[in-house]
Amino acid sequence: MFRSVVHKFNKFLFLKKLVIGYRVSRPLPLLMSSRFISWALFTLLSLIWGSSFILMKIGYEGLTPTQIAGVRIFSGGLVFIPLAIFHIRKVPAKKIPLLLIAGLTGNFVPAFLFTAAITKLDSSLEGILNSLTPIWVVTIGIFIYKDKIQTRKIIGVLIGFVGLVLLTLSQNEISLNNLGYSSLVILATLCYGFNVQMVGHYLKGIPSFHIATISLALMAIPAGIVLWWNGFFQLDFSDSTVMWSTIASLLLGLGGSAIGNILFYALVNRAGPLFTSLVTYAIPFVALLWGIQVGEMVTWKEIGCLAIILSGVYLTNKKN
């Protein structure tokens, strides 16, 4: 029995190293190659974040946008506190402020900006604006970090963005009502772009699991304060609408924020900031999958637009 436990523990350690980004000494088979793992992380992260909008819709039935964002960050950070206490001792003290900034720009600020805008902004326009993240990554990389980004990668980003705009236009007409709220989404994507570049340049030597747990755990206290300030803890949780909205927001925190953070920073360490940011291009795929589940028809026009998006993502991550 003891040997069985040791064998399972060693297997767990190997898988942890594989996902989080440690190197292994022996060559890996195709299904465990670095590029395959990067694409697997990319796909899984797209599925998780793309499904988050359904949980948000359920949350809006009984909670305010601010309460949804607060529950999301608070629950995700609360789960990571025990791990963060252990991990923070392994991180150089000079890197802690950067982890705090990562928590603010990668989780806290965008969560509240998105929830404030999504109820007022047309969903089609919001989808296009959300895809600005890779463009911000390229812009920040070139002008702030002086990165030498290959022309092929920039073309890939632009092709993906064009495909997403065409897909959105093929599905709905864009309403320009409450256009002022678009600035909130643009600011949120700017935060994401800044965060992914900062992590890629200044936190590259820190295990992605440590970045995820510490940065999100640091946001639990301010999120809790926001919830208290907005009267969340005084709600009637015996009411079924409030209860299910809270459960949906909790799942949003555990899945979209906690697990999503681990996958996100693992992908940044493995594939780099630009490829990771292209996850926003894959979210429409998930939306169409959910549409098929509820009986919606998928047209050839939409399939063509998705092919354009995928070609842009592939071109960006293609080896020379």
pLDDT at site 23: 43
Two structure tokens written together for 291 = 């549409």
What is the DSSP annotation of 2-64?
HHHHHHHHHHHHHHHHHHHT---SSPPPGGGSHHHHHHHHHHHHHHHHHHHHHHHHHHHTTS-
CB 175 within 8 A of CB 122: yes
Burial 221-232 (b: 16+ CB within 10 A, else e): ebbbebbeebeb
Rounded Cα–Cα distance for residues 35 and 70 (Å): 35
Q: What is the mean pLDDT of residues 220-241?
A: 96
122-178: per-residue pLDDT in tens? Answer: 655 676 777 889 999 999 999 999 999 889 999 999 998 998 888 777 766 666 666
Q: What is the mean pLDDT of residues 35-60?
A: 87
Residue 76 banded pLDDT, cuts 50, 70, 90: very high
Kindly state the percentage of the chain with pLDDT values over 90.
53
Rounded Cα–Cα distance for residues 177 and 133 (Å): 23
Q: What is the mean pLDDT of residues 203-213?
A: 94
Q: Tell me how crowded residue 46 is: count the other CB atoms within 10 A of its CB.
A: 20
pLDDT at site 24: 41
Residue 208 banded pLDDT, cuts 50, 70, 90: very high
Q: Which helix (H) or strand (E) holds 268?
A: helix 260-271
Question: Among 1-10, 45-54, 122-131, whose mean pLDDT is lowest?
Answer: 1-10
pLDDT at site 316: 85
Q: What is the mean pLDDT of residues 103-131?
A: 82
Q: What is the mean pLDDT of residues 215-233?
A: 97
Measured N-to-C along each axis, helices 182-202 and 123-130 cross at an angle, to the nearest 10 degrees, of: 20
| pTM of structure | 0.83
CB 299 within 8 A of CB 257: no
Rounded Cα–Cα distance for residues 143 and 98 (Å): 20
Measured N-to-C along each axis, helices 260-271 and 182-202 cross at an angle, to the nearest 10 degrees, of: 60
pLDDT at site 175: 62
Residue 1 has pLDDT above 60, yes or no: no
SS3 249: helix
SS3 186: helix
Two structure tokens written together for 275 = 């490829």
pLDDT higher at 183 or 28: 183
Rounded Cα–Cα distance for residues 264 and 279 (Å): 9
Residue 6 banded pLDDT, cuts 50, 70, 90: very low
Residue 203 banded pLDDT, cuts 50, 70, 90: very high
**What does DSSP assign to residue 173?**
P
Residue 28 has pLDDT above 60, yes or no: no
Cα-based angle 46, 223, 216 (whole degrees, multiple of 5): 45
Q: Helix-strand-coil percent breakdown of the chain, rounded to 5?
A: 80, 0, 20
Residue 12 has pLDDT above 50, yes or no: no
- Please list the alpha-helical segments (H only) found in 104-144: 109-118, 123-130, 133-143
Kindly state the percentage of the chain with pLDDT values over 70.
82
Rounded Cα–Cα distance for residues 313 and 309 (Å): 6
